[in-house]
Amino acid sequence: MRKSADILSKEKLRDHANLLKLLAHPTRLAILNSLIPGPKCVTDVCELCEASQPNVSQHLALLRHESIVKYYDEGKSRCYFLSQPNKMKNIFTSLMQDESESHPDCCKK
């Protein structure tokens, strides 16, 4: 049974739902996955995600607006990085986890 301290507030649940909605796009997931190892310039992100520069830039703008990614200018290039790399690593680790390993204790036989 869950402790009351483990139960998320309605505000936190809304915040998490909004984050998941934002992440729920294959291109945005590909962009974030490409940034997990470290900062990348837009051209590198485009190449890794196999997407056009305008498309990647639109997705990066959404991610930047929600403070999921940040950037710095390097000459004429703009390089992006994750603002909370551990959070994104945890999300991707969870997505890659084998379903047979993730059942709650109450469901194990």
In three-state secondary structure terms, 47 is: helix
Is pLDDT above 70 for 107? no
How many CA atoms, within 13 angstroms, populate the side-chain half-sphere of residue 105?
Answer: 2
Kindly report the length of the chain: 109
CB contact at 8 A, 45 and 63 = no
pLDDT in tens, 28-38: 999 999 999 99
Region 50-69 average pLDDT: 96
Beta partners for residue 71, in sequence order: 80
Q: Edge-to-edge strands of the sheet including 77-82?
A: 40-41, 77-82, 69-74
What kind of architecture, by CATH, is found in domain 19-84?
Answer: Orthogonal Bundle (1.10)
User: pTM for this one?
Assistant: 0.79
H or E element: which one contains 100?
Answer: none
